[in-house]
Amino acid sequence: MVIRAGDMDEDRYNRLKLFEWFDLPTVKKTKVLVVGAGALGNEVCKNLILTGFAHFSIIDMDRVVTSNLNRCIFFSDDDARRGRYKAEVVAEKLREIDGSIEVNVHTGRIEEMQEDFISQHDIALGCVDNVAARLHVNASCYYHRVPYIDGATHGQVGKVQVVVPPRTSCLECGMNITHAKIMQKRFSCTGKDIVYFEPKLAADVNTTSIIAAFQVQEALKLIHGLDNYIRNIFYYDGERNFFSTFELPVNRNCPNHAP
């Protein structure tokens, strides 16, 4: 076999292949679900496509607005003016990066999808901003034994939780009274036309990028069968220059773990 100077530079994934454990065919065939196509979803999808993932499902019910533009790499002023669906724009931009990929777009709520929707995927990454959607994906993933990597940010603080059924605890294992109160407000008997308003939170792309990077890094570990994934929560605080990992024990009172 003759190797020409510069051959390595002709291979898009050459630098990734230098990792002994990296297997491009495994990455290419993995069916990944991204729930949420906002700031975190933009960064997660960017990292996934550049890493070689080729089978995507992206779901988000929201449309692009101008305030998204300072932390969403795939959105433009024109997208905001036209009020385009976030999931459709992200899918379009992913196809521009790699025209060979398969990407399915859903512009509704994850809770409205068919019962077997999540089970059609090999791994799920959560990029949503509300407790209800998180718990729905968490419960469905745990039931169907689909690994779930949840990301969340709040200002300069963020976390990544890795849920590997049935080995680890899940999001609901760590539920507290604050989460329950939020759920109660969101689903109180106020009528279907009443929307529970939550104030906007400070956000910056730096924290979002860090959390998204950890999500995709953990996804790579899981699909390659590596055992050094986070158990179970990675916590980052950019204001205090602090990060750590915490184990969350299985809560036997959690509905996903009850006998």
One digit per residue, the tens of pLDDT, for the chain of length 259 reads: 455 656 668 899 999 999 999 999 999 999 999 999 999 999 999 999 999 999 999 999 999 999 999 999 999 999 999 999 999 999 999 999 999 999 999 999 999 999 999 999 999 999 998 888 999 999 999 999 999 999 999 999 999 999 999 999 999 998 865 555 544 444 433 344 444 445 677 888 999 999 999 999 999 999 999 999 998 899 999 999 999 999 899 998 899 988 7
CA gap 1, 254 in Å, rounded: 57
SS3 163: strand
Instruction: Look at residue 232 in the predicted model and tell me its pLDDT.
Output: 83
Q: Which helix (H) or strand (E) holds 123?
A: strand 123-126
Closest CA to 166 of 137, 195, 186, 146: 146
Catalytic residue numbers? Answer: 189
Q: List, in sequence order, the alpha helices (H) in 174-234.
A: 177-186, 205-223
Instruction: Look at residue 258 in the predicted model and tell me its pLDDT.
Output: 80
Instruction: Look at residue 180 in the predicted model and tell me its pLDDT.
Output: 52
CATH of 22-246, one of 1.10.10.10, 3.40.50.720, 1.20.1070.10, 1.10.357.140: 3.40.50.720
Angle at 219 between CA 215 and CA 220, to 5 degrees: 120
Q: Does the pTM exceed 0.75?
A: yes
Can you give 38-69 as a three-state secondary structure string? Answer: CHHHHHHHHHHHHHCCCEEEEECCCECCHHHC
Instruction: Look at residue 178 in the predicted model and tell me its pLDDT.
Output: 52
Which residues pair with residue 149 across a beta bridge? 125, 162
